[in-house]
Amino acid sequence: MRGAMTLLPLLLLAGCKDEPDFEARYDKAAAEIEARAEAMDAAIAESEAAAAAAGETAATRAPQAERGGKIPRVSPEPLPETVNPTNPPPSSGE
């Protein structure tokens, strides 16, 4: 019984696995992010090439997000004449 009690902690420690350190996790995440960025760049280049082949220019396409995630500002278009914005009926004051 004593032998089992002394072996139990050793078995538990043997079952523990070392977790990767910060550098290993960082390198893995950096490689994954770089691979995703390259895939996105390839997809963008492919869509731009297809748009150029179709005769579209950057001016005819809808505005896209700029680098850094900024969305370019455009002036708002007015509502068509057929659309009349309505307000709710006035309250009775109750």
Whether this prediction's pTM lies above 0.85 is answered by no
Residue 61 lies in a domain: no
**Highest mean pLDDT: which range of 47-51, 78-82, 85-89, 90-94:** 47-51
The pLDDT score that the predictor gives to residue 68 is 66
Task: For residue 49, tell me if it sits in a domain.
Answer: yes
Termini Cα distance of the chain: 82
* Residue 74 lies inside a defined structural domain of this protein: no
Give a yes or no: residue 14 inside a domain: no
Q: Is residue 35 part of a domain?
A: yes
Asked if 51 and 61 count as a contact pair (C-beta separation under 8 A), the reply is yes
Report the C-alpha dihedral over residues 59, 61, 66, 70, rounded to 10 degrees.
Answer: 110
Task: Please give the tally of structural domains in the chain.
Answer: 1
User: How do residues 1-57 score in pLDDT, each as one tens digit?
Assistant: 676 677 777 766 766 677 889 999 999 999 999 999 999 999 999 988 888 888 866
Q: Which domain does 36 fall in, by range? A: 21-53
Helix (H, G, I), strand (E, B) or coil at 45: helix
